[in-house]
Amino acid sequence: MKKRYKILIFMIILIIGLIVTFKIMVSVTPPIISDMSIMKKERIKLKDNFYILDDSWLKQNKYGLWELYITGNDFELGAKNGILTKELANYQEEAFIESLKKIVPSEFYINFLKYFIAWFNRDIDKYIPLEYQKEIYGVSLSASEEYEFIAPNYHRILNYHAAHDIGHTISNMNLVACTAFGVKNNRSSDSSLIIGRNMDFYVGDKFAENKIVAFYKPEKGYAFTYITWAGLIGVISGMNKEGLTITLNSAKSDIPTSAKTPVSILARQILQYASTIDEAFKIAKEHETFVAESFLISSAKDNDFAIIEKSTDTTVLYRQNKDEIILTNHFQDKAFENRELTIKNKEESETVYRWDRVNELLDEKEKHDVNSFVGILRNRKGKNGEDLGMGNEMAINQLIAHHSVVFKPQKLQIWVSVGPYQLGKYIAYDLNKIFSDSLDFKNEIYTKSLTIKADPFLYSNEYKQFVEYKKMTNLFRKELSKDVSDYINESNIEKYKNLNPNYFYTYLIIGECYAKLGNNEKALEFYNTALTKPIAKKNEKDVIKSKIDELKLNND
């Protein structure tokens, strides 16, 4: 008994020691801030959804877009951001956790994921420049304590800046599929640069409800604007006062083994400190990233655009040497063309298909303007106008976009979609006006005369059907996980089929419904029908084929 007791004591001490060691190794120490006086100040509410803090402010415009204007040094930028957007940040984190629980419904696996990310990103602060550590720390001081079960506020917000990268790592199963393109000179109606992009990073509709157009006037570097959400200081789509723009598109990547610089932080540094393509490329080469990424850069000074293609071991500058450029989700430079990941990505995903579709649409007009770019960004059809079904990743407009944006760098103009997706109006901002000392921020700051109308599709019966289709898809998926379901019946199945009849996923879900009902003949019929529809990825086809093989085996 004494021996067993000693072994038990030893095991308890060992477990406690391992837990303490783990927590010490994954702990991240906040940067030292010499002056934190800004945290003693309180924001002033001017009216509903309109707050000011010193010379910074946050307000929601009549279209639902939030507009955030911040000035100061590194810590002050973050502190003001956190104070002004604290409710939005809490809502954003709630939406993120809810989506995570839908993707990973098991509490055990969520806890495992939490500890895995903590271990994986234990050195992440070493790869984030100190000024951005200070800014993130400032944001974290206003973060909700409700989620400290995940990690302390600073550590947690720091890790969220790698969420885009983790999503791109999962994008080897492709949850991220963005499209960007540009024209200049002879392909532009006024010869100036035009850049368009859809940011199809989807973490649920709730996550995209509170888009923020942020205007930053930092103490160091260039003033800039970017489209973001509360809590994120990294950049995914943005333009600075010098007319340099940057957008991010994922590429197929090796599975990372440790934390490096998050791509959104690298993009932020480029946007804040570069005014030319060469300056952007120099900054990109200075950092290691733990995922592969393409950065579409355009520069008013250069009157040019290029793509920085960056893998975990190689950084190249790709130019098409034409008056147009297209970027989807595969590398295009010769340095990558024979790599297994590039070949596999092009063969097994829809990235080449979307590239071809953008090229097809650009060729429909000799010269383009902002309106024609918006038309391409909203396009829901496949090559040669094929009906892909609503929501297909083969389309440029997949009806999932967090935001859609058009830039005119030489005029310092930016058009941002107000939602849903890229269907609502695109409203324009002029950075010359925004960053002038005479800006009257108490009135509307966007340029009304440049507003682009909403897509008529938004008011159509077809769009209403798509909204209903999404609701029914979620209901079916939920009911399919139950032992018994009254919802899964012939009437609902028939209604569901008619809502989105050209999309392969409709027939996959119906096949699963009939399989659950024990009607294998009907299940096989709908699985086979799914295979006749346009399907974005090889792994999606393989899933359907495996279900067919499984049913045939059971029938035998």
Q: Which amino acid is at 466?
A: F
Structure token pair of residue 53: 């803090």
Cβ-proximal residues to 76 (8 Å cutoff; 6+ apart), any chain: 38, 138
Provide the pLDDT for residue 18.
34
Contact at 8 Å (CB) between 167 and 201?
A: yes
Count of helix runs (H) and strand runs (E) in the chain: 19, 18
64-112 per-position pLDDT tens digit: 999 999 999 999 999 999 999 999 999 998 887 777 666 666 666 556 5
Cβ-proximal residues to 208 (8 Å cutoff; 6+ apart), any chain: 202, 229, 401, 402, 403, 419
**Per-run averaged pLDDT (10 residues), the chain, 556 residues:** 48 38 54 94 95 97 97 98 96 81 62 58 81 96 80 85 64 66 98 97 84 98 97 96 96 73 96 98 94 95 98 94 96 95 93 98 98 98 97 96 97 96 97 94 96 98 98 95 92 97 98 95 96 96 95 77
Provide the pLDDT for residue 167.
56
Structure token pair of residue 14: 């060992």
- Which class would CATH give 462-555? mainly alpha
The whole-model pTM stands at 0.91
Q: Which amino acid is at 498?
A: N
139-195 per-position pLDDT tens digit: 999 998 887 767 788 988 888 887 767 655 554 444 568 999 999 999 999 999 999
- Closest by CA to 417, choosing from 213, 160, 159, 247, is 213
Could you give the CA distance from residue 212 to residue 64 in angstroms, rounded to a whole number? Answer: 10
Domain coordinates in residue numbering, the chain: 462-555
Provide the pLDDT for residue 426.
98
List alpha helices for 58-105, DSSP H. 74-84, 86-103
Could you give the CA distance from residue 203 to residue 193 in angstroms, rounded to a whole number? Answer: 31
CA 463 to chain centre: 23
